């Protein structure tokens, strides 16, 4: 399978901390890859490096054959941050249309993105008046409006109810089926089960890089929550041995 994102020996320092210390992974094109790990383990930092907005100390990050952050990637990569990145004084539709216009796309493309994130009924509402979950979906609409080939989503389903979460995941799966490479961070294990592959990261190191089934098999359990705990404890034992 073709590689969309390749990270080699990545070292990132933030403040006095080495957050990623020689991190490597390869993410296949047209898949949904879940990025999982405890809070503070380096997930957002890795995503920022892939998008090209993180200063790196050493190593390489290559996206669709180009160095991360380079000009040819600008319209080919979408990024949803944890903080909503929409204009509060514009409506949902106006935000989506503004982002569409940056890519010379028309209103129909913007409206399709709004529909895809389940905000059709709220399209005329000011973002300032939306709930937290709706605001996050408005940001997601803006991230997907240009139909990027690589989509980096930092906890896109936080604050969403189970029905909406399910619909968003259906949408991610459809995007991947159409060839989009989706990297999504999450703390929710039933979401992890819907990924093609999982990257488990802890303390800036890669603990597992495999399919959900193989991760469970390696840990000797059918439960992904339990599998991650087992793999994390194994890593702790190795580290303290
Ligand atoms: N701007 C910053 N300056 C200094 N250190 C930072 C900065 N941002 C993050 N860090 C540190 O980098 C480490 C990794 O943070 P990161 O945000 O990548 O973790 P994460 O796995 O995404 O966490 P979460 O699941 O809570 O979002 C943490 O120890 C954090 O304190």
Atom of ligand 1 nearest to the CA of 201: 21
Question: Do 157 and 236 fall within a single domain?
Answer: yes
For residue 84, what pLDDT is reported? 81
Question: Do 160 and 235 fall within a single domain?
Answer: yes
Model confidence pLDDT, tens digit, residues 129-154: 998 888 989 999 999 999 999 999 99
Q: Which residues of the chain have pLDDT under 50?
A: none
For residue 193, what pLDDT is reported? 92
- Distance, in Å, from the CA atom of 156 to the CA atom of 139, rounded to the nearest integer, reads 9
Question: Do 194 and 230 fall within a single domain?
Answer: yes
- Distance, in Å, from the CA atom of 230 to the CA atom of 221, rounded to the nearest integer, reads 9
Question: Do 26 and 105 fall within a single domain?
Answer: no
Number of structural domains, the chain? 2
Model confidence pLDDT, tens digit, residues 87-128: 999 999 999 999 999 999 999 999 999 999 999 999 999 999
Question: Do 188 and 239 fall within a single domain?
Answer: yes
Residue 83: which residues within 8 A CB-CB, separation 6 or more?
none
Find the helix packing angle between 132-144 and 92-102, rounded to 10°: 20
For residue 232, what pLDDT is reported? 87
Question: Do 69 and 185 fall within a single domain?
Answer: yes
Which of 27, 21, 52, 79 is closest to 204 using CA atoms? 21
| Residue nearest ligand 1's atom 5 by CA | 14
Global pTM? 0.93
Question: Do 228 and 211 fall within a single domain?
Answer: yes
Question: Do 141 and 241 fall within a single domain?
Answer: no
Distance 231 CA to ligand 1 centre (A): 22
233: domain range?
1-76+153-241
> What are the CA-CA distances from residue 70 to residues 52, 53, 114, 209 (Å)?
8, 10, 28, 26
Question: Do 70 and 113 fall within a single domain?
Answer: no
């Amino acid at each position: 399978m073709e590689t969309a994102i390749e990270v080699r020996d990545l070292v990132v320092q933030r403040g006095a901390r080495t957050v990623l210390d020689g991190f490597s992974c390869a993410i296949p094109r047209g898949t949904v890859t879940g990025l999982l790990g405890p809070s503070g383990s380096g997930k957002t930092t890795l995503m920022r490096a892939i998008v090209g907005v993180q200063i790196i100390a050493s190593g390489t990050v290559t996206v669709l054959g180009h160095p991360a952050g380079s000009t040819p990637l600008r319209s080919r990569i979408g990024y949803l941050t944890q903080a909503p990145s929409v204009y509060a004084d514009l409506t949902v539709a106006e935000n989506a249309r503004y982002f569409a216009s940056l890519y010379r796309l028309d209103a129909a493309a913007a409206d399709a993105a709004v529909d895809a994130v389940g905000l059709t009924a709220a399209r005329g509402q000011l973002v300032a008046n939306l709930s937290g979950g709706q605001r996050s979906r408005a940001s997601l609409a803006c991230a997907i409006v240009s139909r990027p080939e690589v989509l980096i989503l930092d906890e896109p389903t936080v604050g969403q109810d189970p029905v909406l979460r399910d619909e968003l995941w259906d949408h991610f799966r459809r995007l991947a089926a159409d060839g989009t490479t989706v990297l999504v961070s999450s703390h929710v294990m039933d979401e992890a089960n819907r990924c093609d592959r999982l990257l488990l990261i802890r303390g800036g190191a890669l603990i597992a890089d495999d399919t959900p089934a193989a991760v469970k098999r390696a840990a000797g359990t059918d439960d992904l929550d339990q599998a991650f705990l087992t793999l994390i404890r194994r890593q702790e034992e190795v580290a303290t041995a």
